[in-house]
Structure 1
Amino acid sequence: MRIISGTFRGKKIIQPKDLKTRPLKDLVKESVFNILEHSNKFDINLDISNILDIFSGVGSFGLECLSRGVKQVTFIENYKEALTILKKNLSNLKTIKNSKIIEGNAYDKNLFYTLTDKYDLVFLDPPYKDENLNLILKNINSAKILKKGGILVIHRHKNSKDIIPEYFEIVEEKKYGISKVIFLLS
């Protein structure tokens, strides 16, 4: 696994040795950025964007954002092994100054109320077997952490049957192997 583009292009990302963390594949990551940057369905300038990476794992998505020059990335993760690797990855790239790590449970609605920033883009990558996606979407909406017109990108298993609440607009859905990516607007 590597960083695809930007300042840290080609740099390797340390991966977990266990199977509890599922890092975002390069193909999926590259496709997400191509859609965000080139689709007329979205109006986002990554250079001035504030990004929230929920279930960030070892940081594959957020590190790519930092490499592409975003304003700031906030990582949310609570699995200790993934957190250790995420911290090493950030340290290796010397990107700690424009990143924050929140060691917390993404299912805890209070976590979102502690966030002081508003986000242009939220990337949500829960475990494939997770059946509580709507709880997290509800908490994101209730805490109003996504800016008006902000983008929410969800990475799921291609066969997941998630029901997206009406306060988010599904703009696009793409499948890549066993993954699907859903793009929503607030």
Structure 2
Amino acid sequence: MVFTREHENLVKEGEKWMKTTTESCSITVALIMTIVFAAAITAPGGSSQETGIPLFRKEMTFTIFAVSDAISLFASSTALLVFLSILTARFAEQDFLVRLPRRLLIGPFSLLLSTTTMMVAFSATLFIVFCDKNPWMLAPICVLAFIPIAIFVTLQFRLIIDLFQSTHVHIFGKHRKSFLRRFNPDDIRLLFGK
């Protein structure tokens, strides 16, 4: 009871930060989901007027586009659902030990996967439509597509590592044998350095 009373502000600040982060990421994921869904229903290069089959369906780059666009759509859907589960969580103090950090780890990872595969799909579309089978155009497209991914990873890397270590790796000499073990308030105190 003393621990709960003394760390009431810490729980409120953690809830506020987590909700703000989740809301921002949810907006980004919704935009990505909209883009990849629109790309999925409008095939690059158009479709045949008689059959409706995409014109470039036999091209390898079209297969790369289709697979990466599908992965991006599924990953962004997963990220959106994870972020919504965080927003609707009860934010009890025992949830901050494993449940919420695990969800916050899955969310940005799904967002990164979605963004990466969206850039692959966009690069494949550029190559199909504009490069006219010029292989030398592939290098600048890949370099430019890699820049936003590298920036995202650089900015979020420390957060992802901290969340992974605090949830799944040895902490303070203890090994977590089970994710469903009993709640111990000392774990939160040690985790937040109080």
Relative contact order, CA 8 A, sep 6+: which one is greater? Answer: 2
| Structure (1/2) with the larger strand percentage | 1
Question: Would you call these one fold, judging by a TM-score over 0.5?
Answer: no
| Structure (1/2) with the larger helix percentage | 2
